[in-house]
Each structure stands twice: as C-alpha cells, then as structure tokens.
Amino acid sequence: MDNKEVLDDIIAKAKKGNQIAFSKLLDTFWNDVYGFQLKRTENENDAEDITIQTFSKAFDKINTYDDAYVFKTWLIAISKNIHIDLVRKRKRSVLNTSGSGEAIRKVLDNAPSMEDLLIQEQNLANLLRDIKKLKPHYQEVINLRFFNELSYADIADKLNEPMNNVKVKLLRAKKLLAEIIRSRK
C-alpha cells in the first residue's frame, strides 16, 4: 500500500468512529496545522488552541470530508476558518468593550493507547513530576481524567468546553506526557 492508500484507510476507519484512527490522524497532521497557525497568529497559545479546535471540529465533522480533496488541505481550511472566527470574536469583544479576551481551548481515545499503558506503569512520584512539566491546561485535564476519574462529559462540564475539545486536549496531553516519560528513560 502506498501512503495515500494508508491514509484513505485511516480516514475510513475514523469515519466509522475508530479512536485509534483519530489518534493517528492527530499525530500525522498536528505539526502541519500547528505550524500553519503559528505563522498566522505568531502566538504559541493561540496556535495550539486553534489547532485543538481544528481537530475537535474535524473529528466531529469527519463524515463530511470528501476524499476528492487532500485531507491536510481540508484540515487547514477548517483551521483557517476557526482563526477568522476568533479574530472576528476578538474584534467584537473590543468593540463591545467587554474586555474579556477569552482564550479558546480544547481531545480523544477511549481504548487504552500505548501512551495510556506507559503512563499507567510509571510510579506515582515520577508521574506527578512529569505531569508538572506539562502546560497548566494539560495538567488539568490529566488530573481530572486520571486522578479524579471524571468522564469526558464531566470534564467538559467542569471546564465549560465542548466534549470533543476535551477529548482532543486529553489526547494531546497524554501524547506529550508519554514523550516526557520516554525521554527520561
């Protein structure tokens, strides 16, 4: 199979709700979307937030993807629209003088992944130290999910965010934490 066939197979599985396929798509295209937004926003936090929202929306709307188009292009288009909406929202906020420059935040995987298994086998002291190396919003979702044992829906309620955003943020947090743990070994 060539790369296009492999990607088409992953997308087909994602359309059927396969969480591992979603994770593979996130891994494959995260840097492309994040890099695109970093150039546009020149702000790491905004770029990361928009990237998380992009994957959240893409996973939510995966069945609307038309394989006549390049998947990366579809993701970039979603990302671009989210950025435009954010800019408009901020302009309205400034015009309304509400002053609440609220950040956009926002992840995926019910089946234990390699990262889940790696995280679980670490001793608690090392794990807590490694969690502290994550950005605060990633620390929060990891703590709510694994230490407070909240469901995605409960985390979404607690953070006042859409559940897909919570899933994407949690998936990204787990992957970053697994990288930290691997680099320590």
Token pair 């990607």 is at which residue? 7
The crossing angle, in degrees rounded to 10, of helices 19-41 and 3-15 is 110
CATH code: domain 3-95 is 1.10.1740.10
Mean pLDDT, rounded, for 137-162: 89
Q: What is the pTM of this model?
A: 0.64
Domain spans in the chain, listed from the N-terminal domain onward: 3-95, 114-184
Condensed to tens digits (0 to 9), the pLDDT of residues 18-52 reads 888 888 999 899 999 999 999 998 888 888 889 98
- Domain 114-184, CATH among 1.10.287.130, 3.30.870.10, 3.90.1150.10, 1.10.10.10: 1.10.10.10
Taking a C-beta distance cutoff of 8 angstroms, is the pair 107, 173 a contact?
A: yes
Flag whether pLDDT at 185 surpasses 70. Answer: no
Name the helix (H) or strand (E) containing 136. helix 136-142
Condensed to tens digits (0 to 9), the pLDDT of residues 82-115 reads 888 888 887 776 666 444 444 333 333 344 555 6
